[in-house]
Amino acid sequence: MHIASTPHRFGRPRKAGGRRDGLSGRSRGETAAEITAVARAQRVKAGADPDDALNALNGSALGILYRRGQMCGSDPGSIGAAQHDAAQTYISIVVRYCEIMGIPLPRPTASAAAGATRPDPDDEVVLAVRRRFSDFRRALLDAGRELGVGSRVNAAVYRICIEDPPIDGVSTEEIENLRYGLNAIARVMR
């Protein structure tokens, strides 16, 4: 029995035209530009400036609104720094509240996807988170009542901050309600 003298490669075939190390022939992977090309293209398609498309703020509806505010503070379709800080606090309280109460979020967090668990928090922590969540919700509902739009302020803040819809699916009225709501949350945070 004769064994073939040609070497056999195991595994999947090599990618044609791939970058390889000269000595070992191992793949050197994709360049940073190749890795980020898809994200850049999606953000440019959503309206981001091509030179600014890889800014992390362009990755969410809330970030895009804040980035607009950084570029032009008088843009009515944007939020300011204080509103962005209020939104970040709101997001952290809502996520923590949902974890404590066992309520699933519309989009899973990284820790939930990884199966990470935390020990049960102290009663004081639970009470503080529940109180803060209640204060935020009351402020949002009061802001909507004062404006005559009912619970739309609360709904806009939740939708944009927590559900993170595509920016082209966010109406001007929602952005206006978001701004009112984040101002109300900022007042509660003081």
Is the predicted pLDDT of residue 26 greater than 80, yes or no? no
Distance (Å) of CA 74 to CA 58, 66, 68, 181, 182: 19, 12, 9, 18, 17
| Cβ(57)–Cβ(67) below 8 Å | yes
Other C-beta atoms closer than 10 Å to the C-beta of 159 total 19
What is the phi/psi pair of residue 188, to 5°? -65, -35
Q: pLDDT of 100-137, one tens digit each?
A: 998 888 776 555 555 567 788 899 999 999 999 999 99
Res 132: pLDDT: 97
Q: What is the mean pLDDT of the chain?
A: 85
Q: Does the global pTM surpass 0.95?
A: no
Query: Over 140-177, what HEC string results?
Result: HHHHHHHHCCCCHHHHHHHHHHHHCCCHHHCCHHHHHH
Is the predicted pLDDT of residue 178 greater than 60, yes or no? yes
Distance of CA 5 to the CA centre of its chain: 56
Is the predicted pLDDT of residue 148 greater than 90, yes or no? yes
How large is the average pLDDT for residues 76-103? 94
Res 6: pLDDT: 52
Higher pLDDT, 9 or 176: 176
Is the predicted pLDDT of residue 9 greater than 70, yes or no? no
Is the predicted pLDDT of residue 19 greater than 60, yes or no? yes
HSE, side-chain direction, 13 A CA sphere, residue 110: 0
HSE, side-chain direction, 13 A CA sphere, residue 46: 25
